Amino acid sequence: MDDPFRDHDRNPSSLRMEIEDRIRTRLHGFYFAASDTILGSKHNDKALLQELCPDDSGNNITSDVINYILRTLVACGRQWHMLDALDPLRFWKSVTSMGEKNSNVRIGPMYTRNLITALVRARQRYILRQGAIYPNFRVEDDLKPGSDTAAQALLERIMGLGDPTQFSGDIFMNPLCSDLEKRDLLKHAVQYGPVKQISSKRKAWRHHVAKNSPCEADNYTNPTS
């Protein structure tokens, strides 16, 4: 007889959607725009999510994936000497093995590489965007004990490489943002940042006051000016 209190197994498609949402929107310290995919295309994302969440995955697979991401980010730092030896394939095999330890996640080394490389890039986007929106933003004040701290340490190491693609082992897979991507990101960050929003609200408030109480509007002094 079925246990009436047992959670019903969830559809693999819904689990994959949950994993995708968690990676793209719920990981602190990483930025994906609303139109962004994780790996650059829906086709690549579909293959990654199927690898992370096979059809026989349990209901806790999302937590397993998030923990796997943290472990592999940390493992990248611990195995960095393999990159110094110019052996990226061995590096990613070792990182994947360390990430899978005591985990239900089993994916190929190249999927690990693609995911972690994309997350490092998302980490850099987050830093650039936050700095553009908030003038007083400080990375060290924003870090939390989790994937963002591990990704930040990794990002700083990669930025010290003569060739950042040494990290991925693929000249077409740069873990750092291109100059074009940086310019586009900063342009949109300034356009939609809180300073712009506050300015618009202040104008609307002044218009409202002037319309409903002209004498108060005439005597209004901006407290921040």
DSSP, residue by residue, 156-189: HHHHTSSSGGGTTT-TT--SS--HHHHHHHHHHH
For residue 124, tell me if it sits in a domain. yes
**Among candidate residues 4, 18, 95, 1, the one with its CA nearest the CA of residue 64:** 18
Side chain identity at 97, as an amino acid letter? S
Whether the predicted model's global pTM rises above the 0.85 cut? no
The 10s digit of each residue's pLDDT in 114-147 is 999 999 999 999 999 999 999 899 999 999 999 9
For residue 23, tell me if it sits in a domain. yes
For residue 170, tell me if it sits in a domain. yes
Residues of the domain holding 58: 12-192
End-to-end CA distance of the chain: 72
For residue 1, tell me if it sits in a domain. no
User: Which distant-in-sequence residues (6+ apart) come within 8 Å of 168 by Cβ?
Assistant: 88, 113, 117, 174, 175
For residue 223, tell me if it sits in a domain. no
Q: How many domains does the chain have?
A: 1
Region of poorest pLDDT, from 29-33, 129-133, 148-152, 194-198: 194-198
